[in-house]
Amino acid sequence: MTGKESVFWGRYADSVNKHGLSGYAAEWTARRAQQVVYGLEGRKLCEVDAAYLDQYLNVLGRNDSLQDWQMIQMVSALKILLVDVVNLGWADAALWSRHIRWRRHRSY
């Protein structure tokens, strides 16, 4: 991990702690955020837009091996990442809870 990455993930950890998460919950929240960041495949985090987030969470929500609590954890991790750490203006207004409700009430 580079120095910039260490500083970035340190800021993320501070934000996670401000949300009252600690121990394994904080560790796994960070892992979820890292999955997204390192999976962007050449795209910069600041280039993520609402359409990308929506598509990402919709695909994730269709994953039957992912339990509901894991989806909630992912949504929380991304909200902390995009709203608190990266400060993407549109992310504050994103429909975060919609993805959790959709996951719980989906039917195929």
Q: What is the pLDDT of residue 10?
A: 95
Q: Which residues of 1-16 are buried (b: 16+ CB within 10 A; e: fewer)?
A: eeeeeeebbeebbebb
Phi, psi of 43, deg, nearest 5 = -80, 140
Residue with tokens 């999976």: 39
Least confident residue range of 3-7, 46-50, 60-64, 77-81: 60-64
The pTM of this model reads 0.85
Distance, in Å, from the CA atom of 58 to the CA atom of 103, rounded to the nearest integer, reads 9
Distance, in Å, from the CA atom of 16 to the CA atom of 81, rounded to the nearest integer, reads 9
Q: Tokens in use for 4?
A: 């910039």
